[in-house]
Structure formats: structure tokens, C-alpha cells
Amino acid sequence: MTLGNFSRVTEFILLGLSDTRELQIFFFAFFFLSYAMVLLGNLLIIVTVKADPKLSSPMYFLLCNLSFIDICCTSVTSPRMLVDLLSQRKTIAFEDCIAQLFFLHFVGATEMFLLTVMAYDRYTAICKPLHYTAIMSRQVCWVLVFACWAGGFLHSIVQTLLTIQLPFCGPNAIDNYFCDVPPVIRLACMDVRVTEWLMVSNSGLISLACFLVLVTSYTFILVTVRVRFTEGHWKALSTCASHLMVVTLFFIPCIFIYLRPFTSFSSDKHICVIYTVFCPVMNPLIYTLRNNEVKASMKKLQMVNRYFTTSIQGLENQVSY
């Protein structure tokens, strides 16, 4: 083993979601379709926002970044899972496991921070509309996004360092379909209670703190909408409802997984599917189906695409003639 003086394990075995062949084929079809939807849906949002100058508000700038993070997040786990579902021996090298753990927490924590920023953006737009453009300027948005990525990197570095300093010399079977801190550190050949408490103070408290900030933001938004009761505020509230749905689906499983040390359940790996696969699939659906501006821009994009396709076909016909 090259990492750590006391590590003897060179690879881990990922037990996956099921050892039944029929279920593995079903999971492969389901997750392949889900991964394709994540890529196509989020890429469509990015292209739509970039192509339409009307979608230049901070909300759509942050939405673009969220779509990019969703693509990164699901790409950390889904390709490997799809390959393992068709393989007889589901092994992953120690170095690859650590790399997957690092990038998962990197983009996962970045998404947590970005969702918090998006909630602050909606709070500012609804509760302080007169100062919104000054508070959420493009420069401020770039700084906030950079801070999200920087915070995610620092969080992931801490988690990775806590893991690689442990000795792994015994069992190497991970009861999950990807490498994550909780199941990996439980395989260490030493008492990991201190490490687990550090994990809780890092991942668990970050998840809980971000979620509480989000709930507080939406509470202020609900109070503001109830007092002012205008059509514009109800439109903003509809957007917030979609955002809150994504937030709940993402944070509750994370809090459940990372805020309880010393215990593990067989259902943990199924709960992980919610924030690694299901949420990235839901984001483009929620933000497009419940947002008239995005849907109108997508229709305009389709019309432009048809126009260029028709023009190219006409030119080809003229050349042929």
C-alpha cells in the first residue's frame, strides 16, 4: 500500500445496492436513464440561461452554477456504479476510493453552500426588493460562488485527511455503491470514535447549519409574502417553493447520514441515492416545469434551432439543385 505506513489494504469491495442479478440489471437501466436525464436536463438549463439575455438575473446565474454542480456530483458516483452493476467483481483501488471520497465531498459541500446562497438571494429579492440589485450585484454573485467552491474544498480536504491517516489492514468490504467517509472509516484497524466525532462536527454540523439557515430564510419570506400579498410576491413564492423542495430532498438525507456517529443501517446506501442521483434529476424538472421564464426561453431556443435547421436544409437543396 502506498498511502500510509500502516495501511495494508490495496483495494475495497463495493457491495452495491443488491447482489441479485435481476435487480442489478433493473438498477442499471434505471440509473443509466437517471444519469442521462441529469446530463441532458442540467446542460439544457445551462445552455438556455447562457443563450437568453433576459435570464441574466442573479437567480439564473446561481441556477447555472447549481446545474453544473449537479452534473459534477452525479458524475462522481454514477459512472462507477453503472460499471459495477455489470461487473462480477466490484472492486475499487484504495487511491481511487480516496479520490472519489474527496470529489464527492468537494462538490457536495459546495452544493450545500450554493443552495444557502440561493436562499439568501430569494430572501433579498422578496424582503428587500429596493436594495436587491445593489446587494446581489454580479461581482457579489461571483464572490459568493467562489466562496462556495472554496468552502467545499476546505471541507473535503479535512474529510480526506481524516480518512487517509487511518490504518486499513483488515476487512475491505464497503456496504455501499461508492466510497464515503462513514463506511470507509469503520473499516480502519483502530478505534475511530474520535474520527467519527470530528466527522459529525464537520459534515453533520455543516449540513444542519446550512439547513437551519435555509429554513430561517424561507420563514422570513413567508412572513413577508403574507404581509404584502401581491401577485409579484406570490410568483416569487412559487419559485421559493420549488427551491425548498430541492433543499429538503437534499439536506434531510445528508443530515441523517452524517449527523449520527457510531451507528450504521443497511438502508443508508438506499438513502444515499436520494442526494447522489434523485436530487440532480429533480433539479432541472422543478426549475423548468415551475418557471415560466425558463420554459419560454427553451421554446425560443427550440424555434431558433428549427429555423437554422430549415435554413441549412434549404441551402443543401439549392446546392444539390
Q: Is residue 147 part of a domain?
A: yes
Mean pLDDT of 269-293: 79
Q: Is residue 304 part of a domain?
A: no
9 — pLDDT class (breaks 50, 70, 90): confident
Instruction: Count Cα atoms within 13 angstroms, Cβ side, for 257.
Output: 23
* pLDDT exceeds cutoff 70 at 286: yes
CA 121 to chain centre: 19
d(CA 157, CA 154): 5
d(CA 29, CA 90): 18
What is the predicted pLDDT for the residue at 297?
67
Residue type, 25: I
d(CA 101, CA 15): 16
Residue type, 145: V
CA 126 to chain centre: 25
d(CA 79, CA 146): 27
Cell numbers describing residue 217: 430564510
Cell numbers describing residue 236: 416569487
Q: What is the torsional sign of CA 217, 52, 131, 228? A: negative
Q: How many CB atoms lie within 10 A of CB 249?
A: 16
30 — pLDDT class (breaks 50, 70, 90): very high
Q: Is residue 5 part of a domain?
A: no
108 — pLDDT class (breaks 50, 70, 90): very high
Residues 46-91: tens digit of each pLDDT: 888 887 777 778 888 998 899 999 999 999 999 999 998 888 888 8
Q: Is residue 175 part of a domain?
A: yes
Closest CA to 243 of 269, 270, 222, 272: 222
Q: Is residue 3 part of a domain?
A: no
Query: Which residues have CB under 8 Å from 71's CB, separation 6+?
Result: 38, 39, 42, 43, 280
Q: Is residue 191 part of a domain?
A: yes
248 — pLDDT class (breaks 50, 70, 90): confident
Mean pLDDT of 170-174: 83
7 — pLDDT class (breaks 50, 70, 90): very low
Q: Cell 423548468 maps to which residue?
A: 288
99-103, 262-266, 301-305: least confident range: 301-305
Q: Cell 481524516 maps to which residue?
A: 162
**Structural domain count, the chain:** 1
User: From edge to edge, which strands make up the β-sheet containing 11-14?
Assistant: 91-93, 11-14, 173-174
Q: Which residues form the domain of 17?
A: 11-293
Instruction: Please report, for the domain that includes residue 39, its CATH number.
Output: 1.20.1070.10
Q: Is residue 306 part of a domain?
A: no
Mean pLDDT of 107-127: 89
